[in-house]
Chain A
Amino acid sequence: MVSGRAESARSSTHPFPSKWTIGVLAILGAALIAMPAVFALFSRAPKGEQMIESFRPFMTSKRLTGFKVDIALVNAAVSQSEHVVVPYLDRAADAGGSGVVSLDVRHSGFGQFAMQWGQIDAHMNSLLDTVTNNLGNYDAVAALPSFSLFPWFFVTPGAVLLLLLIAVGLSRRRWTFVRWVLVVLGLGLVLAPVVFQMFQRAPKGGHMMTAFKTIETTGNVQTIQGYFGTMAIGQGGIRLELVPALEASGLTKTEVESRFPAVASLDNRWVHILNDMTPMIGAMSDNVANYQAMAALPPFALFPYFFVLPGILIAVIAGIAKQRAPSATEPIDP
């Protein structure tokens, strides 16, 4: 009776994959689970997400154009101060006007600033141009799923694959069903980059990371911080030295504003410039480490293929796996 039941079980049509098939699929599953650990994705991906979120308030056309306008406003005020205000004050001093103070005192704070402004203006405009040119690349990266989820996009299918193989190991009858689940899983991995437009967005992210390489460094941030200090001195020189000197020369506040509009504009807009640009400097400073973490990952353009290649292998191997019948010595399925 027992032998008859055994014969019956072995002769049933429950196809079973070869050991080679199971082994390769298990390796693929383990590789998917290991990949986030190999690339330190669990620690780096959240930092990348933090960087993208920190930059979000500043990565708009309106905001970036506003910064350029602010820099241009400072530039205009510096130019007008140098070429119009100072000569005017010099003529007033030569004419012996009351309240005119010595040239050295008048020009000390502003003078230092004016000497450095050309370099500051060039650097800041270059930085803003670089950021503006990468606005589209930033938008592409920001449109991807949350970076913190990316490790799980590898771990979850890898774990599912291994669990399915264990299920097959416990009962070979499950192979027919599991096989097609694995095909679907593989196709899912292939389609995921397509659904998330990773083939278009990931390379753009790579371009952005390359462009920001010289921006998101401690040295560059400290340079920008230094510029802030210099600009504050310069604006202070205009506000507290030149403008009072103009008024002391006999001009009313209204006359100062109408004859030297660029200087007046900077005076009026300075607090707004500080309100606007200081947080940007803060975001740059706070994300140097986050940028470095992202830059340590493999090139962004490769990421779609980290899904596609395992997906193809899983789908093909499961789909065309060589079937075999259980041998006479193998145990009967429960």
Chain B
Amino acid sequence: MAHRIRIAGTLLVLVLTGLLSAPTGAANASSSAAKALVGTFDLTAGSCAGTAATGTYFRMIYPGGTLTGGKFFDNPDSTCTGDFSYTLATPGTAGGLINGKYQPDPTPAFSSSGGALASSIVQPQAFTAIDFSISTNPTDPQTGLSVPAPLIKVKNGKLSGQVEAWSADWNNLHFNQGSPKPGGSEPGLTTSVSGTYNGRTHAFVLTWASEVVGGPFNGFTGYWHLQGTFKASKR
């Protein structure tokens, strides 16, 4: 009898130990979920070789066009002499996009001639003779809607996330160029944020497209190509 009690007790301990140490289904699911990167997407400046651009740049597509075939808007101030449709970007004072944080417009947001003054993500760059730049604000300046800070996640070397707050500033105007748009929609040629991330070298490429809704460029679509090296930081 005592022997049977000891065996039962041992089995009970073994069962309880196994239950307490086994990972749960939920934990299993979370360990394979996309993980938010902590740090800054340091941008590589855009450059052109012939008619192709690398690094960080953006293009604008006319209404009715396609992301690959255009028609593309030519920026006469582009330094990509082989194809003026590429507007090359130079990293800003923060090095690039800080994941999970806002990089808002300065006050004032524009110079007296309408040139954008934001310089954290990218440096102001001439676009048809007036500087444009990028900012991310808690309240989107074009729509007036509250938007989350950009957040990019990685899973198995693939990047995803949202850049709802991505705002292009130019000529005293703001154009939301986020994906999804404030409120969550993806109108027209808008595509989700996607890209690649090398866990060893920390090299990344991040792309998305965003249709302009409202204003003088209504119906145009901006295609954004961010490239560089992710720099991790402590929480």
Q: Contact residues of A with B, CB < 8 Å? A: 109, 221-222, 225-226, 228-229, 232-233, 235-237, 239-240, 270-271, 274-275, 278-279, 281-282, 285-286
Q: Is the CB of B76 within 8 A of A109?
A: yes
Q: Is the CB of B113 within 8 A of A225?
A: no
- B48 close to A (CB within 8 Å): no
- How many residue pairs between the two chains, A and B, have CB atoms under 8 Å in the bound complex? 75
- CB-based contact B114/A275 at 8 Å: yes
Once the chains bind, are A274 and B215 in contact (CB under 8 Å)? no
Return the chain B residue nearest A234 by Cβ: B76
Contact A286 B218 (CB under 8 A): yes
Q: In the bound complex, how far is the Cα of B60 from the Cα of A233, in angstroms?
A: 14
- Can you sample 20 A-B contacts with CB below 8 Å? A109-B74, A221-B218, A222-B219, A225-B216, A225-B220, A235-B76, A235-B128, A236-B129, A237-B76, A270-B129, A271-B113, A275-B113, A275-B130, A279-B173, A281-B216, A282-B173, A282-B214, A285-B214, A285-B216, A285-B218
Q: Which residues of A contact B129 (CB under 8 A)?
A: 232, 235-236, 239, 270-271, 274
**B130 with A271: CB separation less than 8 A:** yes
**Please, how many angstroms separate the alpha-carbon atoms of A285 and B219 in the complex?**
9
Contact yes or no, A275 B214, CB < 8 A: no
User: Which A residue sits closest to B64, measured CB to CB?
Assistant: A222
Complex contacts, A286 vs chain B, CB 8 Å: 214-215, 218
**Is the CB of B58 closer than 8 A to any CB of chain A?**
no
B136 CB → nearest A CB, Å: 22
CB of A240 within 8 A of CB of B220, answer no
The answer to whether residues A240 and B216 also contact, given A270-B129, A278-B171, A282-B173 and a CB cut-off of 8 A, is no
User: Is the Cβ of A274 less than 8 Å from the Cβ of B128?
Assistant: yes
B76 touches A274 (CB 8 A): no
Q: List, in ascending order, chain B residues with CB within 8 A of A229's CB.
A: 62, 73-74
CA–CA, A279 to B215, complex, Å?
Answer: 8
* CB-CB contacts below 8 Å: B163-222 with A: 171-173, 214-220
> Of residues B75, B128, B215, which shows the largest number of chain A Cβ atoms within 10 Å of its Cβ?
B128
Q: Which of B64, B77, B114, B220 contacts A274 (CB 8 A)?
A: B114
Chain A residue at minimum C-beta to C-beta distance from B72:
A229
Contact residues in B for A226 (Cβ distance below 8 Å): 62
Could you say which residues of chain A place their CB within 8 Å of the CB of B214? 282, 285-286
